[in-house]
Chains A and B, each alone.
Chain A
Amino acid sequence: MTSSLDYWTYGVVGATFALYIGIAIWARAGTTGEFYVAGKGIHPVSNGMATAADWMSAASFISMAGMIAYNGYGGSVFLMGWTGGYVLLALLLAPYLRKFGKFTVPEFIGDRYYSQTARIVAVICLIMASITYVIGQMRGVGVAFSRFLETSYEMGLYVGMAIVFVYAVLGGMKGITYTQIAQYIVLILAYTIPALFISLQLTGIVVPQIGLGANYIPPDGGEVTMTLLGKLDQVVTDLGFKEYTTQTMGNTVNMFAYTLSLMIGTAGLPHVIIRFFTVPKVKDARYSAGWALVFIAILYTTAPAVGAMARLNFIDTLMVQDTETTVHGLAAFEPQPYDALPEWFQKWEQTGLLVWQDLNNDGLVQYYNDADEAIAAEAAGLGYAGSEIFHGTADRLSAGPDRDIMVLANPEIAGLPNWVIALVVAGGLAAALSTAAGLLLAISSAISHDLLKSVFMKDISEKNELMAGRIAMAGAIVVAGYLGLNPPGFAAGTVAIAFGLAAASIFPALMMGIFYKKMNDTGVVAGMLSGLLVTLLYVFQHTGWFFIRGTEFLAPELGMSANWFFGITPNAFGVVGAVVNFAVAFAVAAFTAPPPDHIQHLVEDVRVPRGAGEAVDH
């Protein structure tokens, strides 16, 4: 059955894709300079907008608000981590790297540390972090396409892989930059418009940033008695979940480490750093980071409202509460019959990301936290046989809905017009595609430019270099797609691991390269390798070797339980890797020869905008 929603969705998604492809063809890259850094001719505001699109991936758009919805205050690690990193990037790296004037991050590391080995190690770190990141994107693309095409998650993923392939391989950086500006506009409209509508419905205030802190207006016209956050706290605790505004993600140490990992990972991710090579001047690099954060903050300050309101609306649809009630606990809610649920529920069931199992065969949908003993006891008294909402496949069901569907389903749950729902699907795809393209570009330039051109095949022609870059992209898509079939977590969690890897390997090398003149080649290589290995080992022992399920090992005979290191989860471990990296690098550098004089002079030149090493224009 083709409904009016389907026409809207095909129409909007089709129109935005036609726009991106049109721009990509119009601005097609002719030279390697254009392919990698768009010929360095991009205005700071435009660059900021493109950086924002590049940055805000499926993890930000599709996944983050869902993570906030289910982690409440604990979700703040994503909000602070993915914005605060820009402060580090702007203050500690961007202007200096621009001054240095190179194409890629490994090129900077190779030149600064006068070492091919350092450059190759940087390429390895970059590829590990970027591929992990692309897995997270593939998960987001799979979720979006599975709903859009009303098919399984796996099928959605295959379709997504094909589109990313055509799209990223064609363009190169020049095309990508202009396309990303268009994508930013699509994704920010798609994110904020539904949020405005929903904020208006629930609080009577249009601006979601204010609505989240406003009073809750009950839909049945009842009296206004509590704030939106107060209402949410009450509803979730009545259902046995943790209180929204105080729920944490692990202990305080983990919250701290998680946020810090994401922040320094932000400043170490090659596809973001590379953007600051594309502005004309050092001055522009400083402002560009600020503009990027302005455009990012529009989405990031909206996300907490989206998460909180989606959680409330989702519960409200399944478990209706009489707003006049003074009863607390499960008895305050009336489970709704499955047959009376709105159409979106069945549509999402087709994807396997939302599953209902009628455990007590009463035809009603019960949703609560059956892991909470008091609530489970009350539920048994009411004749409930457990919470009936799951996600996953029949052989492996997990409790609750898949977090990654919350943003996409949000406008449907709130009953918004079809064109808004269609816009959100287009926005989610824009977010996933723009980031996947940026990452694939970073991977391809690392392989073709840093490995082939500089190390293995010095006389490769420009044409063959471009070809090698495109082949590398295709390989990366296949690997990421395969691992995306069984991702190590929700999109945002998977992406967090990528940040941890970047934090542990690349950020310390860049920072020491600028701020510590005496850091030498052996020190940095030892630091990067130990930071990367420590982090990978900790992540893999929890999620399986190379994220392949079933190969995870924790050694109970050594007294290791899950997250054994001060309660720090693998997603948050990058900061520990970074500390190891710094410590090892300093220790090794103290016992080996300092860098030659010309390198120390080079570092001094990088520190001033004008001077001997004027920013090179490629």
Chain B
Amino acid sequence: MTPENRSAYWKANLRLLAILLAIWFVVSYGFGILLVGPLNQFYLGGYPLGFWFAQQGSIYIFVVLIFVYAAQMNRLDKKFDVDET
């Protein structure tokens, strides 16, 4: 593996991390804590929306984030030919 390749792989990895962690932050700290008041004016069934993000929604999104990460990293590993045999 050339040093250029190695650094491109790492950069692609960091970019993926940045996107996923931004979503992670927005759904929990954003919707669940900082914006909880304004969001609570909307309802999802009987749930005030901000309350729903804090106690339900953020958790579902966390699960999705990890599987997206694993799938994307596996693709990246193949693309750069660094996957395990």
Instruction: Write out the residue numbers on chain A whose beta carbons fall within 8 Å of the beta carbon of B1.
Output: 608, 611
- Chain A residues bordering chain B, tally (CB within 8 A): 52
The reply to whether B24 and A84 form a contact with Cβ atoms under 8 Å apart is yes
A395 to B70, CA, bound (A): 55
Looking at the complex, which of A251-259, A312-320, A334-342 is the stretch in contact with chain B?
Answer: A251-259
Q: How far is the CB of A480 from chain B (nearest CB, A)?
A: 29
Q: How far is the CB of A303 from chain B (nearest CB, A)?
A: 8
The reply to whether B29 and A259 form a contact with Cβ atoms under 8 Å apart is yes
Q: How far is the CB of B54 from chain A (nearest CB, A)?
A: 4
The reply to whether A287 and B28 form a contact with Cβ atoms under 8 Å apart is no
* A246 interfacial contact with B, CB 8 Å: yes
The reply to whether A293 and B62 form a contact with Cβ atoms under 8 Å apart is yes
CB within 8 Å for A286 and B69 given contacts A293-B63, A297-B60, A611-B1: yes
A-B CB contact pairs (8 Å), 11 listed: A73-B55, A80-B28, A87-B21, A255-B33, A259-B33, A293-B66, A301-B55, A607-B6, A608-B82, A610-B85, A611-B82
CB within 8 Å for A282 and B84 given contacts A80-B28, A84-B58, A227-B46: yes
- Residue numbers of B with Cβ under 8 A of A are 1, 6, 9-10, 13, 17, 20-21, 24, 28-29, 32-34, 36, 40, 44-48, 51-52, 54-56, 58-60, 62-63, 65-67, 69-70, 73-74, 77, 80, 82-85
Instruction: Write out the residue numbers on chain A whose beta carbons fall within 8 Å of the beta carbon of B59.
Output: 79-80, 83, 297, 300-301
Which A-chain residue is minimally distant from B64 (CB atoms)?
A290
The reply to whether A283 and B40 form a contact with Cβ atoms under 8 Å apart is no
Instruction: Write out the residue numbers on chain A whose beta carbons fall within 8 Å of the beta carbon of B48.
Output: 229, 245
* A95 interfacial contact with B, CB 8 Å: yes
A80 to B24, CA, bound (A): 10
A607 to B76, CA, bound (A): 13
* A481 interfacial contact with B, CB 8 Å: no
Instruction: Write out the residue numbers on chain B whose beta carbons fall within 8 Å of the beta carbon of A112.
Output: none
The reply to whether B84 and A283 form a contact with Cβ atoms under 8 Å apart is yes
The reply to whether A229 and B47 form a contact with Cβ atoms under 8 Å apart is yes
The reply to whether B47 and A213 form a contact with Cβ atoms under 8 Å apart is yes
- Residue numbers of A with Cβ under 8 A of B are 68, 73, 75-76, 79-80, 83-84, 86-87, 90-92, 95, 209-210, 212-215, 227-230, 245-246, 252, 255-256, 259-260, 281-283, 286-287, 289-290, 293-294, 297, 300-301, 304, 604, 607-611, 614-615
CB within 8 Å for A87 and B70 given contacts A259-B29, A604-B6, A610-B82: no
The reply to whether B40 and A245 form a contact with Cβ atoms under 8 Å apart is yes
The reply to whether A90 and B82 form a contact with Cβ atoms under 8 Å apart is no
A293 to B66, CA, bound (A): 9
List the 8 closest A-B pairs by CB distance, nearest first.
A227-B46, A76-B54, A213-B45, A290-B66, A286-B70, A213-B47, A304-B55, A213-B46
Instruction: Write out the residue numbers on chain B whose beta carbons fall within 8 Å of the beta carbon of A283.
Output: 70, 74, 77, 83-84
Q: How far is the CB of B40 from chain A (nearest CB, A)?
A: 7
A560 to B58, CA, bound (A): 36
Instruction: Write out the residue numbers on chain B whose beta carbons fall within 8 Å of the beta carbon of A304.
Output: 55-56
The reply to whether B67 and A73 form a contact with Cβ atoms under 8 Å apart is no
User: 12 more A-B contacts (CB under 8 A) besides A79-B59, A91-B17?
Assistant: A73-B36, A73-B55, A80-B59, A84-B24, A95-B73, A209-B56, A215-B46, A228-B46, A229-B48, A252-B34, A289-B66, A610-B84
Which A-chain residue is minimally distant from B74 (CB atoms)?
A283
The reply to whether B17 and A86 form a contact with Cβ atoms under 8 Å apart is no
Which B-chain residue is minimally distant from A75 (CB atoms)?
B55
Which A-chain residue is minimally distant from B10 (CB atoms)?
A607
Which A-chain residue is minimally distant from B50 (CB atoms)?
A73
CB within 8 Å for A256 and B70 given contacts A84-B24, A297-B63, A301-B60: no
